[in-house]
Amino acid sequence: SVPASIASSLSAGARRGLLLKGGAVIEAAARVNLVTFDKTGTLTVGRPVVTDVWSPEGDEKAVLALATGVEAGSSHPLAEAVLAHAEGQGIAFEAGRDARAIPGRGVEAQLGGEIVFVGSPRYAEERGAMTPDAKARIEALEAEGKTVAAVFRANALSGVIALRDEPREDAAAAMHDLRELGVRSVMLTGDNARTAEAIAGSLSMEYRAELLPDDKVSAIRELTAGHTVMMIGDGINDAPALATADVGVAMGSGTDVALESADGALLRNRVGDVAGLLRLARATMANIR
């Protein structure tokens, strides 16, 4: 019978760490023809490392100390990377006070009697703290697929820090598999367009960049108008995006997967399992018909 074959597919999937919350989800997953991915931690390893520090005055240590003081009050993956790098370099720093996250843009804190910011170059530009010299350097770093954080005070740029988050080992093969299934893959990211283009290009996939958290939801809503869309994310920061897609799937290792806002999960934390999930859903529906 129909329910029995769905039940056996669900349990066969579960044995491979592919979870779907029931028959209606399998049915929708079988129709998916476009998959959107969060970039950080989903397509990439999610552990950025500092690669370059630049100061217009030639004082890289001061830039790092200032940035570390601000990032000490942030839990963003970029903040952890800056702190780890400063520690490795033995940088002494003063921790800022009243740190505040500016979603999709960066973080600010009180440091030495003024507000210091660490955030996207776009945000530095909005705040009037960008220089033509810095802009040229930033664009070159971004074209290498690096994410750049600008360190600045009111109207004055102190320096820039570039970070690199490597694509997952299996990401390029995973995108190839999806293409074979006739499925479009689109990266969604808050990062700038140049960085996104470099990473998406290396994975032969499409991208939408410079998205604020609400923009990710709008992008998915727009794509669902012409496609059946599956969204893959970590389930924590991406809860609204997962809920907006036709099928929202959380990816992570076992217990830290947030399933509440998702229709399914990939427990082995492999981006290659997305194609496996679609094949399972398609095969299940083909059996029924």
Residues whose CB falls within 8 Å of the CB of residue 11, separated by 6 or more in sequence, listed in order? none
Answer for the pair 109, 165: CB distance below 8 angstroms, yes or no: no
Tell me, yes or no, if 38 is annotated catalytic. Answer: yes
Comparing CB distances to ligand ADP, the nearer of 31 and 76 is 76
* Binding track, positions 128-147, relative to ligand ADP; x by CB under 6 A: -------------------x
* Stretch near ligand ADP under the rule CB under 6 A, chosen from 88-96, 104-112, 245-253, 269-277: 104-112
Map tokens 């000490």 to a residue.
72
Min separation Cβ 252 and ligand ADP, Å: 15
Pick out residues in 178-207 that bind ligand ADP (CB under 6 A). 189-191
From 65, 66, 72, 107, residue interacting with ligand ADP (rule: CB under 6 A)? 107
Min separation Cβ 118 and ligand ADP, Å: 5
DSSP one-letter string for 176-189: HHHHHTT-EEEEE-
Nearest-CB residue to ligand ADP?
190
* Stretch near ligand ADP under the rule CB under 6 A, chosen from 8-16, 22-30, 75-83, 167-175: 75-83
Return the CA Rg of the chain: 21
Comparing CB distances to ligand ADP, the nearer of 269 and 284 is 269
Report the b/e string of 144-163 with b at 16+ CB within 10 A: ebbbbbbbbbeeebbbbbbb
Q: In what helix (H) or strand (E) does residue 49 lie, and over which residues does it extend? A: strand 49-54
From 23, 48, 69, 106, residue interacting with ligand ADP (rule: CB under 6 A)? 106
Answer for the pair 212, 190: CB distance below 8 angstroms, yes or no: yes
- Which amino acid appears at position 176 of this protein? H
Q: Provide the 8-state DSSP code for 167.
A: B
From 9, 36, 40, 244, residue interacting with ligand ADP (rule: CB under 6 A)? 40
What is the bridge-based pairing of β-strands 114-119 and 106-111? antiparallel
Return residues touching ligand ADP (CB under 6 A). Answer: 39-40, 71, 74, 76, 78-79, 104-107, 118-120, 147, 149, 189-191
Which residues are marked as active site? 38
